[in-house]
Amino acid sequence: MRPVLVLLLLAITTNLAIAEDKVNFSEQIQPIFLEHCAKCHGERNAKGDIRLHSPAGIREAGIDYILNPAKPEEGELLARIILPVDDDLFMPKGGDPLAQEQIDLIRKWIEQGAEMPENSPAAESEEDPLPDVPPAPPEAIEKLVASGAQVLALYQDSPLLRVTFAYSDKKAGDEEVALLTEVAKQVIWLNLAQSEITNTGSAPLATLENLTHLHLELTAINDEALAHLAGLQNLAYLNLYGTQITDAGLEHLKGLKKLKKLYLWQTPVSYEAAMALQDGTEGLEVNLGWNHPEVAKRRLNKELERVTARKEDATKREEQAKAEKDSAATRETEIQKELEALNPKPEEPAEEKPAEEKPAEEKPAEEKPAEEKPAEEKPAEEKPAEEKPAEEKPAE
* Interacting residue ranges for ligand HEC, rule: CB under 6 A: 36-37, 39-41, 47-50, 52, 66, 76-77, 80-81, 89, 91-95, 98
DSSP E strands, 128-178: 150-153, 161-164
Backbone torsions φ then ψ of 125, nearest 5 degrees: -70, -30
Distance of closest approach, residue 304 Cβ to ligand HEC, in angstroms:
14
Measure the CA–CA gap between 154 and 188, rounded to whole angstroms. Answer: 8
Q: Give how far the C-alpha of residue 178 lies from the chain's centroid of Cα atoms, to the nearest Å.
A: 39
**Shortest CA distance to 373 belongs to which of 345, 342, 347?**
347
Distance of closest approach, residue 91 Cβ to ligand HEC, in angstroms:
3
Q: Which is nearer to ligand HEC, 116 or 133 (CB)?
A: 116
Measure the CA–CA gap between 84 and 86, rounded to whole angstroms. Answer: 6
Distance of closest approach, residue 111 Cβ to ligand HEC, in angstroms:
16
Measure the CA–CA gap between 205 and 212, rounded to whole angstroms. Answer: 12
Q: Which is nearer to ligand HEC, 93 or 317 (CB)?
A: 93
Distance of closest approach, residue 295 Cβ to ligand HEC, in angstroms:
18
Distance of closest approach, residue 21 Cβ to ligand HEC, in angstroms:
23
Distance of closest approach, residue 310 Cβ to ligand HEC, in angstroms:
11
Distance of closest approach, residue 364 Cβ to ligand HEC, in angstroms:
51
Q: Which is nearer to ligand HEC, 72 or 201 (CB)?
A: 72
Q: Which is nearer to ligand HEC, 304 or 335 (CB)?
A: 304
Q: Which is nearer to ligand HEC, 106 or 151 (CB)?
A: 106
Q: Which is nearer to ligand HEC, 49 or 357 (CB)?
A: 49
Alpha helices by DSSP H, the chain: 2-20, 30-36, 55-61, 63-66, 76-81, 100-111, 123-127, 138-146, 174-178, 223-226, 247-250, 271-280, 293-342, 347-351, 359-367, 372-377, 379-395
Give the angle subtended at the CA of 195 by the CAs of 193 and 200, to the nearest 5°. Answer: 110
Measure the CA–CA gap between 390 and 378, rounded to whole angstroms. Answer: 19
Distance of closest approach, residue 306 Cβ to ligand HEC, in angstroms:
8
Measure the CA–CA gap between 38 and 95, rounded to whole angstroms. Answer: 13
Whether 216 and 197 have beta carbons less than 8 Å apart is answered as yes
Amino acid occupying residue 312: E
Backbone torsions φ then ψ of 370, nearest 5 degrees: -60, -30
Residues β-bridged to residue 215:
191, 239
Q: Which is nearer to ligand HEC, 50 or 110 (CB)?
A: 50
Q: Which is nearer to ligand HEC, 39 or 363 (CB)?
A: 39
